[in-house]
Amino acid sequence: MSELLPALLIVLPIVGATLPLGVGLLRENVGWSIAALVLSVEGGLAAWLATAVYGGEGAARIVHVLGGETFGRRGATENFVVGIELVADAFSGLMVLLVAGVALGVLAFARRGGPRGNAFYSGYLLLTGGLMGLFLTGDLFNLFVFLEIVGLTTYGLVASDRDAESAVAALKYLVIGTTGASLYLLGVGYLFLRTGALNMVDVSRSLAGEPEWIDGALYGDPLVLAAFGFIAVGLMTKAAIYPLHTWQPDAYAAAPDAVTVYISALVSTGGAYAFARVTWTVFTPEFFAVGQNARILELVIVLACLSVVLGSGLAAMQRRLKRLFAYSSVSQFGLIVIGVCVAVHPAGGTQATQLAVYGVVIHLLGHGLIKGGLFATVGALAHGTGARRVREYAGLAKRRPFLSGSIAVLGLAIVGVPPTIGFLGKWYLAVGALNTELWPVIFVVFASTLLTLLYVARLLETLYFDGPAEGAAPAAGPEPEGPGAPGGADDAVMTDGAGSLSYGMIALAVSAAVLTVLLGFAGSALTDATQPIAQAVIEAAPEVGADG
Amino acid sequence: MTETLLFVGDLLTSQYTYLLFAILLVVGLYIVVASSNLVKKVIGLNLFQTAIFLFFISAAYVQGGQSPILPSEGAGEGLYASPLPQVLVLTAIVVGVALTAVGLALIVRIYSEYGTLDEETLREVRADE
Amino acid sequence: MVEHVVDSWRPLAAVLISAVAIALIVASHRRPNVREAWSVLASVGKFAIVASMLPGVLDGTEYRWSLGMVPGLDSEFVFGVEFALRADALGMLFALLASFLWIFTAFYSAGYMRGLDEPNQTRFFASFAASLSAAIGIAFAENLVTIFVFYELLSVATYPLVAHDETDEARAAGRKYLAYTFFGGGFLVLAGTALVFVLTDTTTFGATAADLAEADPALARAAFGLLAAGFGVKAGLMPLHSWLPDAMVAPTPVSGLLHAVAVVKSGAFGVARVVLEVFEPDLVGELGVGLALAAVAAFTLTAASIIALRADRLKRRLAFSTVSQLSYIVLGLGLAGPAAVAGSGTKTVIIGGLLHIPAHAFMKLTLFFCAGFIHVETHTDYISEMDGIAKRMPLTMAAFAVAAAGMAGIPLVAGFVSKWFLLIGAVEANQAIFAVVLLLSGVLNIAYFWPIVYGAFFESHDDADSKPLIEFPLGGRASGGASAGEPEAVADGGAADDAHDDDAAATDEHQEGGHHDTADHEHAGHAVHSDDQHEDHDHHGGPPPGGWERAGWTGAEGSWLMLGPILVIVAGAVVLGVVPYQAVFLELIEVIAEGVVG
């Protein structure tokens, strides 16, 4: 039964996406209820899948071949898969849980704050389905299709409040995103040309020269190297790595708040996941150990380091909160890409690989949680007080103690203050990098703490220690938070969206903060879950957790 | 010298689709980057994608190959073209069409709001607001 | 001594009791009496829990708690490292000190905050409790990662206390504080910890030295440098000390307990863990890093004393004194390396360095409490305004005099014993040069404390001697008291005139009646202190018209809520000095030194 789960997880939200539009013809405003229903079932399925994957000894690898046995793998290993394989293993299992959780959580936000209308919820469910597919597919071309499904729905959702500003941002995102995806496709084409396969496992085996008709490993082939180059550039665009990040601040800033929460937590994460998956599973460390292939990895690392430094610097210069945290994402994904590269860099031994893999996976999860929580808090504060700029945050802590507390906890988590999941990710990335003895990279990773502190500290100081903005009388004390809480007539910064703060938003923000801290103590559970991935990368095995 | 000539000759006669692929790819990318007209950007994007489709199709071409439709009594002898790249390109075309549609819809929205399709003008208009 | 380790929840309880108090403090923010009661209860409870482990620790038992004792959780915090607390002798030293002194600080701060009618008191008490939680966590941390967790939390928890005033000055100090401590913690200590982990596969104290000895010496030195510098930031080692004087804008109980005891000592304590248990003295000596550390400490303690000579704001002078005194501790620890190589004096320098932790804590807390008390009662912050103040606050100034004597190392007060050990140890370790530095520093200590005491007791405001060191620019050129008209004597150009005018105007409002001349004179004097750039002129201290009133020796000088803690703590300082072996700290430290030297 559990073999059906990967397919169900993708199909359910995509089929569900037709419902809000269809039923919407009969009744208005059914979108939220339908989405809530579908995503609750989805959450259940994701939990089931997680138990199936992690329940036993080691981590199971659950494979579902679309089209059944006809297109499946037959006989000896050298029989390539014709159809598309969906794979739930230790890596995708964690990501599926993240998607299901965030999708449900953002619904709580969108109930009052999000774009209204059934069409939005159709797009929302479609995006969820696309992300599930992105994380579950075991096929390189299928990955492209899901990248584009995710991209398309994201462009639509960014512009879903019908604001012209967001249309401009969405178009920019579309042009850059599509170029990136096309480059990825080109890389896949090169690989296909050389190996004749699209299944990740098959491509990996062919590159290693396992099938009889291939004369030795293909690692030295310039075509393969070019393929990695195109794939890396394409996926780094999706993950918003400098200098391909320019779409991200505009898109995050212009999108409706609920959409920003969702895409900041998951969409770039999808890009980074794909990069890690292809680099680790398809190319494997052995590819980079051959000849000068490690140079291309170092090129990527240089870009990622620039991303860390410049992303933080630009974040510190922003006046608007959503742009600030968008640039912060640029910097954090720089760290993740560094980790992906460190894990396969020949300079590091198995320990570097193991720790860097831990770091990448944990930081992907942690960053999704933290950044989603931050955008949820920022959105909730904007809905409650109208404040969208850093200086409008002056003294807000006294009026919104819970939301401000969330910002403080999540902000410190992104700096890497323990005990939070943000610290765990950073620790593993740092220790992993240390094992390679690539000193400039190590310096950047450690210095990223201080760079992140630049903008977080500024924000916290404004929030807690600046007097209220001019013209606003100081509030007498903490007001009760909630939808009924009046902003007060003395509220000078109150503008759009005021008064639409809901308990759902506060609950989402606070639970993200609490979860961030609690997961800080779940270090061993997280590393246990990640261990099969690390093991697979160390052994250069294309199948994660196949042999338990 | 002769080798280079042979290579160029080969490229122009039997491998010219790859040459076309490269040209289209670069032209498309150039339009995306250099043109300030939003519609032209989308056209450039289409060219760029088309180039990649052409690449897949060229790779799948087998001289004298039949279409891979097998008779029910079992595989006949002969040369078949691989169906896989064709399928991939079909899928990719669908994706491309969807992208173009979304892009054009966004452009319509932008035009109705700002009355311009030029990126530079758009930037000025938005800066004024 | 037979060591055995007992699983116990007590170390965690000692950490968490004040964390629980935070919630209660915040919840009762509308009822100040209840709120302060929680503070006091938490402090007493914390001390009781810590003290309950003391007999066991003295007998060689260690109490250990790890994350795995929570049902459903694994001990492992990050790969290969447990999240564990262990109450051992060294940890007990710091925990006992911090929790004991917190009791009195809790009373004192209630009096202080109410006396000044400060805003945001709930945030203040909550952060204070959080800081103590983190400090005890640092004390009991079993490995470098765990200590890093609490070290970072301590930085975060004390930031609101530094920026408490919400003035521009306080916020700037807060920024500086965060920048320095995160550079020390999140960058240096983290990097050092990671390096130690990579080199040895563990970070547990006492388990790393053997592997470090076999590692590449350059990397081992780098790890020591990163860790020592990282902890050194909080310990005020030069050149990373400058956050500490700025942080004195915080309310005085913060300056007292945190910036003389808990926070800065957490840095010194971290250095102790690194020297004694991560690297161990033998390796520190072999790598040659001990001597380097001692040299930095010797430089810091001399330079800071010289700077302190010229500080006119009392709290600033005390801050530089803290920088200087902390380096005694670091010096003792640094000398453990060369002493181990020389084969003699290791135990003595370690005892000297560690004993200075409680000794300095008692003395400096007294001094800060006195400064705060003077501020609350008379709004006097500047030494130049304190002539004759003993008439107004006799008990306070008597306590101040005793503690200052201890600082200088005069016998019968706590400071003497630790400095004696340090002196002897330095000579035994063939590093007599450091003994000379110690003696020189003693002289400097007298030079910066004696004028305060002398002025307070034996001069009156109207006929005070001139104070050349703080009134005249460097170089000794006498520009006279009323120097506002001479811009060349002013560090920041013409600003002096403005400051002068503002002060005069403000003083007019503040002090009805005559006496303008004196006030102008005083403030013009401040404007030329190139050294005190962060002076704010909000407070107008100094004696009221007609000089200080006379208050009796029976406590008429102010609230007993503040006077009581001062007297208790100064008594503690004397007990430490007169009967060091009866006060528990020396016994504890001997257990530690036995453990290290064997």
Instruction: Give me the DSSP letters along C237-273.
Output: -TTS-THHHHGGGS-HHIIIIIIIIIHHHHHHHHHHH
| Residue C539 predicted with pLDDT over 50 | no
Domain co-membership, C486 together with C378: no
Chain A residues whose beta carbon lies within 8 Å of the beta carbon of residue B83 = none
Residue that the structure tokens 């390539």 belong to: A80
**Cβ atoms of C431 and C294 closer than 8 Å:** yes
Chain C residues whose beta carbon lies within 8 Å of the beta carbon of residue A431 = 194, 197-198
A505 in C contact zone (CB under 8 Å): no
Q: C101: closest CA among C329, C381, C368? A: C368
Residue that the structure tokens 């606003």 belong to: A472
Which two structure tokens, joined as six digits, stand for C271? 């250095």
The CA–CA distances, whole Å, from A376 to A245, A271, A331, A369 equal: 22, 21, 19, 10
Distance CA A136, CA A190 (A): 23
Q: What is the pLDDT at residue C478?
A: 46
| Residue A136 predicted with pLDDT over 80 | yes
The CA–CA distances, whole Å, from C83 to A412, C86, C172 equal: 20, 10, 35
Shortest CB distance from B48 goes to which of A156, A174, A179?
Answer: A179
Rg (CA), chain B: 21
Per the DSSP assignment, residues forming a β-bridge with C86 are: C64
B29 in A contact zone (CB under 8 Å): yes
Distance CA C571, CA C362 (A): 9
3-state secondary structure C477-534: CCCCCCHHHCHHHCCCCCHHHHHHHHHHHHHHHHCCCCCHHHHHHHHHHHHCCCCCCC
Cβ separation of A415 and C77 shorter than 8 Å? no
Domain co-membership, C508 together with C440: no
Shortest CB distance from B95 goes to which of A148, A155, A192?
Answer: A148
Q: What is the pLDDT at residue B74?
A: 62
Domain co-membership, C319 together with C370: yes
Domain co-membership, C199 together with C322: yes
Shortest CB distance from A167 goes to which of B56, B91, B106?
Answer: B106
Q: What is the pLDDT at residue A145?
A: 93
In this predicted model, what pLDDT tens digit does every residue of C3-23 receive, in sequence order?
Answer: 678 888 888 888 888 888 888
DSSP state of C141: B
Chain A residues in contact with chain B using a Cβ-Cβ cutoff of 8 Å = 82, 141, 144-145, 148, 151-152, 155-156, 159, 162, 164-165, 167-168, 170-171, 174-175, 178-179, 182, 185-186, 189, 192-193, 196, 198
Give the pairing of strands A85-88 and A62-65.
antiparallel
SS3 state of residue C78: strand
Q: Give C91 to chain A, closest Cα distance, Å.
A: 21
| Residue C102 predicted with pLDDT over 70 | yes
Cβ separation of A175 and B42 shorter than 8 Å? yes
Q: What is the pLDDT at residue C530?
A: 40
- Provide the pLDDT confidence category of residue A498 given band limits of 50, 70 and 90: very low
Distance CA C321, CA C444 (A): 10
Domain boundaries, chain A: 2-484+496-538
B to A contact (≥3 Cβ pairs closer than 8 Å): yes
Chain A residues whose beta carbon lies within 8 Å of the beta carbon of residue C67 = 521
Q: Give B41 to chain A, closest Cα distance, Å.
A: 8
Shortest CB distance from B106 goes to which of A171, A189, A196?
Answer: A171
The amino acid that residue C261 corresponds to is V
Domain co-membership, C331 together with C410: yes
Chain A residues whose beta carbon lies within 8 Å of the beta carbon of residue B99 = 148, 151-152, 174, 178
Q: How many residues does chain C have?
A: 598
Residue that the structure tokens 């780098």 belong to: C222
Domain co-membership, C368 together with C505: no
Q: Nearest chain C residue to A355 by CA: give it.
A: C79
Chain C residues whose beta carbon lies within 8 Å of the beta carbon of residue A427 = 78, 145, 190, 194
Domain co-membership, C448 together with C488: no
**Cβ atoms of B50 and B35 closer than 8 Å:** no
A320: exposed, middle or buried (Cβ count in 10 Å: 0-12, 13-18, 19+): middle
- Provide the pLDDT confidence category of residue C436 given band limits of 50, 70 and 90: confident
- Chains sharing 3 or more CB pairs under 8 A with chain B: A
**Cβ atoms of C331 and C305 closer than 8 Å:** no
Domains of chain B: residue spans and CATH: 2-63+82-128 (1.10.287.3510)
Tally of CB atoms within 10 A around C274: 30
Q: Is residue C541 part of a domain?
A: no
- Provide the pLDDT confidence category of residue C481 given band limits of 50, 70 and 90: very low
Higher pLDDT, C192 or A216: C192
Higher pLDDT, A496 or B97: B97
Distance CA B61, CA B53 (A): 13
Residue that the structure tokens 């400060």 belong to: C118
Shortest CB distance from B98 goes to which of A152, A168, A182?
Answer: A152
Task: Report the pLDDT averaged over residues A150-159.
Answer: 92
Domain co-membership, C44 together with C171: yes
Q: What is the pLDDT at residue A75?
A: 53
In this predicted model, what pLDDT tens digit does every residue of C117-138 receive, in sequence order?
Answer: 777 788 888 888 888 888 889 9
Q: What is the pLDDT at residue A474?
A: 40
A4 in C contact zone (CB under 8 Å): no
Task: Report the pLDDT averaged over residues C567-588.
Answer: 80
Cβ separation of C76 and A527 shorter than 8 Å? yes
In this predicted model, what pLDDT tens digit does every residue of A373-422 receive, in sequence order?
Answer: 999 998 888 888 888 888 888 878 778 888 888 888 999 999 888 888 98
Number of A/C CB contacts below 8 angstroms equals: 94
Distance CA C154, CA C161 (A): 11
| Residue A119 predicted with pLDDT over 50 | yes
With the C-alpha atoms ordered C206, C207, C210, C213, is the resulting torsion angle positive or negative?
Answer: negative
The CA–CA distances, whole Å, from C94 to C47, C138, C193 equal: 12, 9, 21
**Cβ atoms of C253 and C164 closer than 8 Å:** no
**Cβ atoms of A255 and A222 closer than 8 Å:** no
Of A315-329, A396-410, A527-541, B54-68, give the range with the top mean pLDDT: A315-329
Number of domains in chain C: 2
Q: Which of A168-172, A262-266, C386-390 has the lowest mean pLDDT?
A: C386-390
Per the DSSP assignment, residues forming a β-bridge with A389 are: A320
Q: Which of A115-119, C28-32, C347-351, C495-499 has the lowest mean pLDDT?
A: C495-499
| Residue C96 predicted with pLDDT over 50 | yes
Q: What is the pLDDT at residue C261?
A: 80
Q: Which helix (H) or strand (E) segment is A86 a member of? A: strand A85-88
| Residue C217 predicted with pLDDT over 60 | yes
* For helices C346-378 and C414-428, angle between their N-to-C axes, nearest 10 degrees: 150
| Residue C347 predicted with pLDDT over 70 | yes
With the C-alpha atoms ordered C443, C446, C448, C450, is the resulting torsion angle positive or negative?
Answer: negative
| Residue C489 predicted with pLDDT over 60 | no
Chain B residues whose beta carbon lies within 8 Å of the beta carbon of residue A151 = 99
Cβ separation of A156 and B88 shorter than 8 Å? no
Task: Report the pLDDT averaged over residues C99-106.
Answer: 85
Q: Is residue C540 part of a domain?
A: no
Shortest CB distance from B113 goes to which of A156, A164, A174?
Answer: A164
Q: What is the pLDDT at residue A374?
A: 92
Q: What is the pLDDT at residue C487?
A: 39
A208 in C contact zone (CB under 8 Å): no
Higher pLDDT, A174 or A402: A174
Of A104-108, A394-398, A519-523, C100-104, give the range with the top mean pLDDT: A104-108
Task: Report the pLDDT averaged over residues C323-333.
Answer: 87
A437 backbone φψ class: left, alpha, beta (φ>0; ψ -120 to 50) = left
The residue segments making up the domain with residue C150 are 4-456+560-597
Q: Nearest chain A residue to B98 by CA: give it.
A: A152
The CA–CA distances, whole Å, from B123 to A165, B117, B129, C117 equal: 11, 11, 10, 54
| Residue C500 predicted with pLDDT over 70 | no
Domain co-membership, C421 together with C489: no
**Cβ atoms of C229 and C237 closer than 8 Å:** yes
Q: Which helix (H) or strand (E) segment is C49 a member of? A: helix C32-58
- Provide the pLDDT confidence category of residue C471 given band limits of 50, 70 and 90: low
| Residue C531 predicted with pLDDT over 50 | no
Q: What is the pLDDT at residue B48?
A: 93
Q: What is the pLDDT at residue A10?
A: 92
A545 in C contact zone (CB under 8 Å): no
Higher pLDDT, A150 or C211: A150
DSSP H helices, A214-320, are 222-238, 247-254, 257-277, 284-289, 293-317
| Residue C509 predicted with pLDDT over 60 | no
- Provide the pLDDT confidence category of residue B100 given band limits of 50, 70 and 90: very high
Q: What is the pLDDT at residue C542?
A: 65
Q: Is residue C532 part of a domain?
A: no
Residue C154 backbone dihedrals phi, psi, to 5 degrees: -65, -40
Please report the ipTM that was assigned to this predicted complex: 0.91
Domain co-membership, C447 together with C483: no
Q: How many residues does chain B have?
A: 129
Domain co-membership, C515 together with C397: no
Distance CA C471, CA C195 (A): 49
B32 in A contact zone (CB under 8 Å): yes
Per the DSSP assignment, residues forming a β-bridge with A85 are: A65
Q: Which of A222-231, A297-306, A518-527, C183-192 has the lowest mean pLDDT?
A: A518-527
Per the DSSP assignment, residues forming a β-bridge with C105 are: none
Task: Report the pLDDT averaged over residues A288-292.
Answer: 85
- Provide the pLDDT confidence category of residue B44 given band limits of 50, 70 and 90: very high
Residue A303 backbone dihedrals phi, psi, to 5 degrees: -60, -40
Q: How many residues does chain A have?
A: 548
- Provide the pLDDT confidence category of residue A116 given band limits of 50, 70 and 90: confident
Chain C residues whose beta carbon lies within 8 Å of the beta carbon of residue A533 = none
* Preceding amide of C544 cis, omega within 30: no
Q: What is the pLDDT at residue C121?
A: 80
Residue-averaged pLDDT of chain C: 78
Q: Percent of chain A, pLDDT > 90?
A: 30
Residue that the structure tokens 């935070």 belong to: C22
DSSP H helices, C459-479, are 468-471
DSSP H helices, chain B, are 2-13, 16-34, 38-60, 83-114, 119-128
Cβ separation of C75 and A524 shorter than 8 Å? yes
b/e C524-535 (16+ beta carbons within 10 angstroms → b): bbbbbbebbeeb
In this predicted model, what pLDDT tens digit does every residue of C155-185 receive, in sequence order?
Answer: 888 888 888 877 888 888 888 888 888 888 8
Q: What is the pLDDT at residue B99?
A: 92
Q: What is the pLDDT at residue A333?
A: 93
Domain co-membership, C175 together with C203: yes
Distance CA A89, CA A110 (A): 31
Chain B residues whose beta carbon lies within 8 Å of the beta carbon of residue A179 = 29, 32, 45, 48
